[in-house]
Structure 1
Amino acid sequence: MKTTSIKGELTKFIKKSMGSENPRFSGWYCGITNNEERRKAQHNYNRGKIKYWKCINAGTMKNANQVERYFSEKGTANLPSPNGAKISSRWVYIFKLPATKQMGLGGVLESQSLYEQVFGN
């Protein structure tokens, strides 16, 4: 799969998940891996903390790095690996970061968190 197709598919996924044609990418994380299941576990996917997750085989580590860099430039969170990626890391994944409980203008505003702020738990 070409990197432009992967970028388009992941962007469409984000837009659909956010219900917006102009979503904020800062609430998302993009990375690459050679083992999706292990990476999901490391990001606590199975504990229900991550609602939206998508992973695509980019074919090569070079392609995966290009896609990751593209989304990083769009504003996604990325953690640089001190040892670099493994050559077998050809999967690129993206997920919506869990909402924080931050309040005020800088906080995430979701209907459930607003309800909790107004009426308590």
Structure 2
Amino acid sequence: MPADQGGKGECMSEASNSVVHPDFQRSRSGRLVAAERIAEPLIGTEAAFDAAIGQLSLLGAAIATARVDAGMAAEFSQGSLEDIAETFTATVAARRALINTHRRLGAMQRKAGLEAINFGAGDGKPLPAFTA
């Protein structure tokens, strides 16, 4: 049974004895459905950024190698490499913003009284601790 916490408008979660923000007093199953709805595209987007970063790296290497193999002057591919470097930097910055989004969503999840579910990268490696 939820218990009032000193007039702050927050209630104790039935499942975890943690304080649940008043905006999240709806059913636990509804909160879980909402979290699952967010988790799949979030994880997919993170994977897509990692794949894009990998492909950009391969593209940069291919441009440099092809230039050497073709016996062309370095200036021939310089503009393309600069464009790839700019794209790489922007993609890594966008990935950082997505990681920040993930952290904020984690904070919302805790406020909603839901336990953290660590899907990770699926490779069994531990993830760093996030601070909100």
Q: Normalising to structure 1: TM-score of the pair?
A: 0.24
Name the larger-Rg structure.
2
Pick the structure with more helix per residue.
2
Q: Which one has more relative contact order, counting CA pairs under 8 Å at least 6 apart?
A: 1
Pick the structure with more strand per residue.
1
